[in-house]
Amino acid sequence: MAARKARHSLNSPGFGPGCFLVFALSFGASVLTAHAEEQQKPLFELGVAGGIANLPDYPAAGQNHWHGIALPYVAYRGDFLRSDDKGLIRGRFVHTDDVELDVSLNGSFPTRSRGNDARRGMPDLDYLVEIGPRLQATLARAARDAKIDLELPIRAVFSTDFSSVDHRGFTFAPQLAYQNDRFLDAPIKLKLGIGPIFGSAALMDYFYEVTPTFATATRLAYAVDAGYIGTRLEFGMTSAIFPRTRAFLASRIDVHRGAANEDSPLFRDRMTYSIGLGLIVSVFQSEHRVQE
């Protein structure tokens, strides 16, 4: 099968090391303040956050690597502009008790191909930026602090080496999620989510395409198909250890059996796992409080 023109593309949304750690840090930062009846939190927070994670190099990769990140922690909870557990930066267009529609921005960090046996000799992967709308609808409320949501995000993916920006396609990742903001009646936030992930042909090129230029005796040329990437089971939990310090744990399992590109020589494992943990410290909190 003839391969398409090579694309030097990037980490898929939610799969690269940066995206997973950003998710873990954002989720961990989501309940830094004590629980209140009105769910009130500071309008603005500033602090530091850091974590480590063991992650697959890409979906269905046969290898995992450790990654670390440390960065300033900023949270802003305005009526429209937000920086919180649902995204680094996002604009919230609709917000009711049961429905939310926003457009958010997230990012990821580069990955080097020399450390992966399947991709060795292929181009390195650049920084990733993903942006798009997300609709969240609450389907049921199990208790005062617990609910079941349906999340429908569609994201455009871009890669950059800071000298140019290239469009890398789209991803669609619907998720059914159980969330409890006060698990076991303690200051613990818990989230369990499950859902399929789909990618466009341009995005699949990053994961599984092998052009004739990079084909070898054990890595045959391969042209990708758009479609199903896999199904993800996601778990996240945070807990206060000091008044302004929280620890977080985030993990996920991705099942790639039946994926559109199982025949690619870069497809190495039908099940992959990720795990990350770290700390978030809120150094400054505004006196002004808002209802979450």
In CATH, what number is assigned to the domain containing residue 45? 2.40.230
pLDDT at 39 over 70: no
Length of the chain as a residue count: 292
pLDDT at 289 over 90: no
Q: What is the mean pLDDT of residues 52-79?
A: 85
pLDDT at 277: 92
Binned at pLDDT 50, 70 and 90, residue 32 comes out as very low
Binned at pLDDT 50, 70 and 90, residue 264 comes out as very high
Q: Is residue 5 part of a domain?
A: no
Q: Which residues of 237-268 are buried (b: 16+ CB within 10 A; e: fewer)?
A: bbbbeeebebbbbbbbbbebeebbbeebbbbb
pLDDT at 170 over 80: yes
Q: Is residue 10 part of a domain?
A: no
Q: What is the mean pLDDT of residues 215-233?
A: 96
pLDDT in tens, 126-154: 777 888 999 999 999 987 789 999 999 99
Q: What is the mean pLDDT of residues 102-119?
A: 81
pLDDT at 37 over 50: no
Q: Is residue 4 part of a domain?
A: no
Judged by average pLDDT, the poorest of 20-24, 137-141, 279-283 is: 20-24
- Chain center to CA of 240: 23
CA distance 284 to 248: 20
Which two tokens mark 242?
A: 């000091």
pLDDT at 204: 93
Q: Is residue 2 part of a domain?
A: no
Which two tokens mark 71?
A: 């960065």
Q: Is residue 56 part of a domain?
A: yes
pLDDT at 3: 38
SS in 3 state form for the chain? Answer: CCCCCCCCCCCCCCCCHHHHHHHHHHHHHHHCCCCCCCCEEECEEEEEEEEEEEEECCCCCCCEEEEEEEEEEEEEECCCEEEECCEEEEEEEEECCCEEEEEEEEEECCECHHHCCCCCCCCCECEEEEEEEEEEEEEEECCCCEEEEEEEEEEEEEEECCCCEEEEEEEECCEEEEEECCHHHCCEEEEEEEEEEEECHHHHHHHHCECHHHCCCCCCCECCCCEEEEEEEEEEEEEEEECCEEEEEEEEEEECCCCCCCCCCCCCCCEEEEEEEEEEEEEEECCCEEEC
Which two tokens mark 40?
A: 């009130």
Binned at pLDDT 50, 70 and 90, residue 237 comes out as very high
pLDDT in tens, 244-255: 898 999 999 999
The residue whose two tokens read 């770290």 is 278
User: How far apart, in Å, do the first and last CA atoms of the chain sit?
Assistant: 53
Q: Is residue 65 part of a domain?
A: yes
- Domain span at residue 243 reads 17-291
Look at the chain and report how many structural domains it folds into: 1
Give CA torsion, residues 71, 95, 167, 214, to 10 deg. Answer: 70
pLDDT at 290: 80
Q: Is residue 158 part of a domain?
A: yes
Q: Is residue 8 part of a domain?
A: no
Which two tokens mark 107?
A: 């990012």
